Amino acid sequence: MLLEEVMIKDVITLSPTNTAKDALQTMQENKIRHLPIVESDGTVVGIVSDRDLKNIDPPTLIGGSDHDLSNSLLGDIMTPNPILGHPMDFVEEAAILFYEHKIGALPIVSTDKLVGIITETDLLYKYIELTGAHQPGSQIEVRVPNVPGILYEVSKVFHDHQTNVLSVLVYPDKENVANKIIVIRINSMNPLPLIQGLRQNGFEVLWPNVPGIDV
Amino acid sequence: MKKDAVFIYSEDQLNYSFSDTHPFNQKRIILTLDLLKKMQAITDEDIIRPRIATEEELLLAHDVKFIETVKKASKGELQENVGAIYGIGTEDTPIFPNMHEASALLVGGTLTAVDEVMNGRANYALNLGGGLHHGFHGKASGFCVYNDSSVAIKYLQQKYGARVLYIDTDAHHGDGVQWSFYDDPNVCTLSIHETGRYLFPGTGHITERGNGKGYGTSFNFPIDAFTEDESFLEVYRTSIKEVAEYFQPDVILTQNGADAHYFDPLTHLYGTMAIYNEIPRIAREIAEQYCEGRWIAVGGGGYDIWRVVPRAWAQIWLAMKKLPAPTGPLPADWLTSWQGESPVPLIPTWEDPDPLYEAIPRKKEITEKNAQMLNRALYIIRNEKINK
């Protein structure tokens, strides 16, 4: 999945000559936490987060008057030259950027112009979608040996039962590195025939998977 | 004279049948009614036939295209693969002849129950054929075609202007009803269910609290797999009392799925008959305290139809008749009538055998986790109370 498929295209921005007060107001009105700072030609020169606003020298905010606050220019407060994404980056690559740089939002730039933004929250929701957990389904976990062709063997059982699969994820097995745990969400309230089918084919089904309790 | 309670039933309710092997089996209603008859707890005067819901009534909570599709499927006129986007013709909700009529009758039964209570002919009304809480506005899901509770709540709002508290103790999350009223501040939905980590439908997190004006009128209490009686009842008692006090409903609609029992094949909760004795009796107390007694109860899930559902559902009617929970042996003629047909030995007493299952290794942690969940889920209303 590419960033251009998931990014927010209607980006709210301010310029370096706007003030901290403008930024605070814009964030509150739009319920957002990040503002790309953009020159009039569309180039991104910085980013301001709600945390940057909180970090403005406290006396100017608390003790001082509105005058002091409105005097703080975003050009002075912003994080200059922020980390940027490209519309054709993979979502997975963006996720790594968020994780490694501990950032909350990624402005997306093409031919030097701002074309979108994606936030940590948007990205998290995409991951929820990948797991299939946003639509009605049951989850089954199968412990399998980590050998080629095993996914085919497992999915054959689903084919036999004409069951619609919502998502498939593969996790390492913490107990034994020679195994993998395949997590499958299916579009059915009654997974029993399928579980029986998997067991008949020699698979270890964890449903539910609660350490210390065998069913 | 005003009756204590009415029982909505006709044999046509059994027409809601996907196949002989499908887990959703309305024979449960016959087994329950027969048990009540054989203990002389119900007479023919207590029973009212359900009406069929009109299309206009179904439209209160359903999309016109969905209804049209169900009607076509009902007559066998639906082209292949068309039903899937409406959730019909799937493994969970296969197509069966006259499925529109059968589904509309279950909705009509709940509307009959509503009218009996709201017109003051009875304090309480029970429609065991209802409780199809997974039905969505435009889609069938999880064994449910039309959502009788969603239609009934809209009907209660439009015809009677009532504030409705919906309480769902089915082991699966009451998603269909929740999403139908997610934005509505005048309907409060409360669902206690096994966490969606493994179990269908997967939703029902405590953070699902409603949206916009309806924020704060959707409550979810996901309990862990292997939850036992005490922890279940603590969550039930505490949540229903605090939410009713906070929301101040005019009428209570309870969904009484009986699938949180240890024997139930589809879920992983470890309830016993003790929870089914208490669920309806506390519901009645709450209805008396906040709604001048107005209480409508519907059925729901329940997939051990022989050992669990008849005993569990009988308790709803007995609670409505203000009878104490019976103890000791079940009527002998009920046992002899049905044992031959049952694939498992029937439980001969009102109580479950003790112990019913081997002790759970992580009971303490499960209880603790549920208690923490309960506090987090109720934090929002407790906080508001303090700020007042």
Q: How far apart are CA B188 and CA B194, in angstroms?
A: 20
Nearest CA in chain A to B174: A136
Q: How confident is the model at residue A66 (pLDDT cuts 50, 70, 90)?
A: low
Active site residue B134: yes
| Alpha carbon distances (Å) from B210 to B104, B178, B251 | 28, 8, 20
By the 10 Å C-beta count (0-12 exposed, 13-18 middle, 19+ buried), A54 is classed as exposed
Report the DSSP pairing between strands A165-172 and B164-168.
Answer: unpaired
A3-127 belongs to which homologous superfamily? CBS-domain (3.10.580.10)
A12 and A32 Cβ atoms separated by less than 8 Å: yes
Listed by start position, the domains of chain A span 3-127, 134-206
Which token pair is B236?
Answer: 């039930």
- Banded model confidence at residue A69, pLDDT cuts 50, 70, 90: low
Report in angstroms the alpha-carbon separations of B383 from B50, B192, B379: 43, 21, 6
* Closest chain A C-alpha to B115 CA, distance in angstroms: 32
Structure tokens at B188: 């409060």
DSSP sequence for B200-241 = TT----TT----GGGTTSEEEEEEPTT-BHHHHHHHHHHHHH
Of B62, B133, B134, B173, the catalytic one is B134
pLDDT in tens, B153-201: 999 999 999 999 999 999 999 999 999 999 999 999 999 999 998 999 9
| Segment B278-308, tens digit of pLDDT | 999 999 999 999 999 999 999 999 999 999 9
Cβ contact (<8 Å) for A133 and B202? yes
Say yes or no: A196 contacts chain B, CB-CB below 8 A. no
Which residues of chain B neighbour A191 with C-beta distances below 8 Å?
200
* pLDDT tens per residue, range B85-119: 999 998 899 999 999 999 999 999 999 999 999 99
**Which superfamily is assigned to A134-206 in CATH?**
ACT domain (3.30.70.260)
Task: Please state, in angstroms and as integers, the Cα–Cα distance from residue B292 to each residue in B6, B196, B248, B263, B315, following that order.
Answer: 17, 35, 11, 36, 21
Amino acid at A203: F
Greater model confidence, B319 or A57: B319
pTM of the predicted model as reported, rounded to 2 decimal places: 0.85
- Distance from the Cα of A203 to chain B's closest Cα (Å) equals 18
Instruction: Give the integer Cα–Cα distance in Å for B105 and B146.
Output: 10
Distance CA A114, CA A133 (A): 32
Task: Name residues whose C-beta falls within 8 Å of residue A142's C-beta, 6 or more positions apart in sequence.
Answer: A154, A181, A182, A184, A198, A203, A204, A205, A206
Lookup: tokens for A46: 């910085």
* Domain of residue B242, residue span: 3-387
Residues A76-123: tens digit of each pLDDT: 899 999 999 999 998 888 988 998 899 999 999 999 899 999 999 888
Query: Is B274 within 8 Å of B229 (Cβ atoms)?
Result: yes
The minimal CB distance from B202 to the residues A139, A207, A209 is found for A139
Residue B188 sits in a domain of what CATH number? 3.40.800.20
- The two tokens of residue B302 are 């329940």
Q: How far is A34 from chain B (nearest CA, A)?
A: 23
Q: Give the pLDDT confidence score for residue A68 in this predicted structure.
A: 63
Partners of A171 in beta bridges: A181
- Count CB atoms within 10 A of the CB of residue B231: 23
Residues 6+ apart with CB under 8 A from A62: none
Residue (of B253, B266, B85, B370) closest to A192 by Cα position: B266
Domain count, chain B: 1
Q: Which long-range contacts (CB under 8 A, 24 or more apart) does A126-131 make?
A: A126/A1, A126/A6, A126/A91, A127/A95, A130/A167, A130/A169, A131/A167, A131/A169, A131/A183, A131/A185
pLDDT band of residue A70 (cuts 50, 70, 90) is low
